[in-house]
Amino acid sequence: MRIVFAFILMFITTGCIGRPANPATTQPVTNVDPALAEKDYWLDKPATVEVRGAFAPLWQACEDTAHEYLFRIDRRDQRSGLLTTEPMITRQWWEAWRKDAGTFFDSEEATLASIRRTIFFQFKKDGDSYTATPKILVEKESKVDPKYKSEIEGPATYWYALRRDEVLEKKVAKSIREHLDKVSKAQAAAR
């Protein structure tokens, strides 16, 4: 009876699964598509939101919004319709005065790792008006372990793209609209 009980106990404790249920558990963590780490992959994705208006006020509203979120302007290229900011380290949970993270999770993430965001405003002519689409790229810093620095040829520290911050893109678009509304109200009052 003890032998039968031992065999039953052996089958119960070993389980009934013969191979891993999820094949991803057998893959290395670095087995991902390298394109996902490139900023162009994320910037080529469709915009989540757009704002319409006349070119000059729309451009100025985008610049004002970038400054409102404490970003510095890096590139002003009106011919190609591109306005970009310098990358800025994302706010941490205790920096309540900053609003450059879309969610509380984003602030927590930036507290635990070096995360930065860059705003790309893309302008396109659309009939008689223009559209501006804010795209916010989220990047993470990666550092090579010092003991391996002599074995690599590239930089020991680099940034790679994680995703776009679509929540913050919507907040930025709302702010652009508010800046445009102020301009149109000021113009109406001046008449």
* Of the ranges 48-62, 100-114, 147-161, the best mean pLDDT one: 48-62
Least confident interval from 28-37, 112-121, 168-177: 28-37
- So what's the pLDDT on residue 16? 57
Domain range summary for the chain, segments of one domain joined by +? 35-144+154-190
Domain 35-144+154-190 falls under CATH 3.30.530.50 = yes
**pLDDT top residue among 97 and 21:** 97
- So what's the pLDDT on residue 31? 63
- So what's the pLDDT on residue 13? 64
- pLDDT tens digit string along 63-122? 999 999 999 999 999 999 999 999 999 998 888 888 888 788 888 888 888 999 999 999
Q: Residue 58: pLDDT above 80?
A: yes
Round to whole Å and give the CA distance between 103 and 105.
5
Tell me, letter by letter, the H, E, C secondary structure of the chain: CHHHHHHHHHHHHHCCCCCCCCHHHHCCCCCCCHHHHCHHHHHCCCCCCCEEECHHHHHHHHHHHHHHCCCCEEEEECCCCEEEECCEECCCCCCCCCCCCCCHHHHHHHHHCCEEEEEEEEEEEECCEEEEEEEEEEEEEEECCHHHHHHCCCCCEEEEEEEECHHHHHHHHHHHHHHHHHHHHHHHHHC
Round to whole Å and give the CA distance between 170 and 11.
55
- What is the share, in percent, of the chain residues with pLDDT greater than 70? 84
